[in-house]
Amino acid sequence: MKLTLKVWRQKDSKAKGQIESYQLDDVSSHMSFLEMMDVLNEKLISEGKEPVAFDHDCREGICGMCSMYINGQPHGPDSGTTTCQLHMRSFKDGDTIYIEPWRSAAFPVVKDLVVDRSSFERIQQAGGFISVNTSGNTQDANAIPVPKADADKAFDAATCIGCGACVAACKNASAMLFVSAKVSQFALLPQGKIEAKDRVQNMVAQMDKEGFGACTNTGACEAECPKGISLENIARLNREYIAASLTSDEH
Residue 15 in contact with another protein, rule: CB under 8 A: no
Closer residue to another protein (CB): 3 or 61: 61
**Interaction pattern, residues 211-230, with another protein; x per rule: CB under 8 A:** xxxxxxxxxx--xx------
Binders of another protein in range 20-79 (CB under 8 A): 28, 30-32, 34-35, 38-39, 42, 44-46, 48-51, 53, 55-65, 69, 71-74, 78
Taking the least distance from each CB to another protein, the nearer of 3 and 85 is 85
Which of 9, 95, 159, 198 forms a contact with another protein (CB under 8 A)?
A: 159
Largest CA distance in the chain: 64
Report the C-alpha gap between 169 and 33 in whole angstroms.
19
**Pick from 71, 178, 53: which is nearest to 110 by CA?**
53
Residue 1 CB, shortest distance to another protein, in Å, is 13
178 binds another protein (CB under 8 A): no
Binding to another protein (CB under 8 A): which residues in 179-218?
Answer: 185-186, 189, 191-192, 204-205, 207-208, 211-218
Angle between helices 196-209 and 232-247 (to 10 degrees): 110
DSSP string, 163-224: --HHHHHSTT-B-HHHHHHHHHHHHTSHHHHTTHHHHHHHHHHHHHHTT-B------HHHHH
* 94 versus 140: smaller Cβ distance to another protein: 140
Whole-number minimum distance, CB 169 to another protein, in Å?
A: 4
Q: How far apart are the first and last CA of the chain?
A: 58
Nearest approach, Cβ of 34 to another protein (angstroms)?
A: 7
> Under the criterion CB under 8 A, does residue 129 sit at the interface with another protein?
yes
Question: Could you give the CA distance from residue 187 to residue 178 in angstroms, rounded to a whole number?
Answer: 14
Of 94 and 137, nearer to another protein (C-beta) is 137
Question: In this structure, are strands 18-24 and 69-70 parallel, antiparallel, or unpaired?
Answer: unpaired
Q: Is residue 145 close enough to count as binding another protein by CB under 8 A?
A: yes
Size of interface with another protein, in residues (CB under 8 A): 126
Binding residues for another protein restricted to 68-127, rule: CB under 8 A: 69, 71-74, 78, 81, 85, 87, 89, 98, 100, 103-106, 110-111, 114, 116-118, 120-121, 124-126
Burial 32-62 (b: 16+ CB within 10 A, else e): bbbbbbeebbebeeeeeeeebbbbbeebebb
